[in-house]
Amino acid sequence: MDAHARTIEEVAARKPAGILVHGFSPALKGAIDKAMDAGVPVVCVDGDVPDSKRMSFIGTDWYQVGVVHAHEMARLTGGKGKVAAMMVIGIDIYEYCAQGYKDGLANYPGMELIGVFNDETDPAVAARLTNELVSAHPDLAGISNFDATTPGVGAAIKELGVAGKVKVTGMNVDPPQIKYLEEGVIQVLVGQKRALFGYYGAKMLYDYNHSPVNITPNDAGVGVTNIPPRVDTGIFVITPENVKAFKGEGLFHETGITSIKDGTVASVPEKTVTGDSTIIPFDKASHLLF
């Protein structure tokens, strides 16, 4: 059994009042369904497992991320030229993003997508791919990167001396990305409101257990929950023109999971288990179970 799925099952066996899971893989479906069947509510954050019985998903609309990348790239290139995309191939959220990118580019007949390339979430691979693409396509107009390897693209673009000639739209607002944006190596960054993932995830589990709001006279009996099945936390765009307005203490720091205790919200370090999957259990008082 996958280690992440096994961890969910082990946590669910402790009968917490709820679990937050980073639903990064469809392989977690069985464990999520088992927890839900056992009466343990599961909320997915950041990554979704839509085919599972999970109660809700809170995170970014990745299809819309792709659409925004496409429109921003079209703006940068005047709607003409060859472009490439990089991401982790085979992961649902990035596949949604790629589809949004393709659909967005379809509005610009003068643009050609030469391919979607697998950067394996490794900045070194992203840098190598960038070198290969620029070498193979001297007329390349732009590269869109959908994951955390944007700094690898930026490093290669800068080293090749094609900053500004090859436009770059990247993902997330970590310090390396901001540095390349301010240097003119990257032209657009698409940011996620990641601090909201854990906040609303914990709040939903609290509301599920404690909210006085009832949808029907017998919500539990008829299988109706008092929380929404999906929350899009939104995205924002940073450019060299507006980056100064965004900069401020703490802005680019991604906070960890938050807990709701006695009606208040408190930040706590993120609990990450088995590498990629974040699994946060809560007890009936909405205390974190670590």
CA 22 to chain centre: 10
Q: What is the pLDDT of residue 272?
A: 31
Q: At 118, which helix (H) or strand (E)? A: strand 111-118
Q: What is the pLDDT of residue 195?
A: 93
Q: What is the pLDDT of residue 2?
A: 83
Q: Tell me the domains of the chain and their CATH numbers.
A: 3-60+194-233+267-282 (3.40.50.2300), 62-192 (3.40.50.2300)
Q: How far apart are CA 145 and CA 201, in angstroms?
A: 27
277: left (phi over 0), alpha (psi -120 to 50) or beta: beta
Cα dist from 89 to 5, 66, 147, 158, whole Å: 21, 14, 11, 25
Query: Block means of pLDDT (10 residues each) for the chain, length 290 residues?
Result: 88 95 92 96 94 96 98 99 97 95 99 98 98 98 98 98 98 94 98 95 92 87 90 97 77 39 33 43 51
Q: What is the pLDDT of residue 124?
A: 98
DSSP state of 79: T
Across the beta sheet with 140-145, the strand order is 111-118, 81-87, 140-145, 167-171, 188-192, 235-238
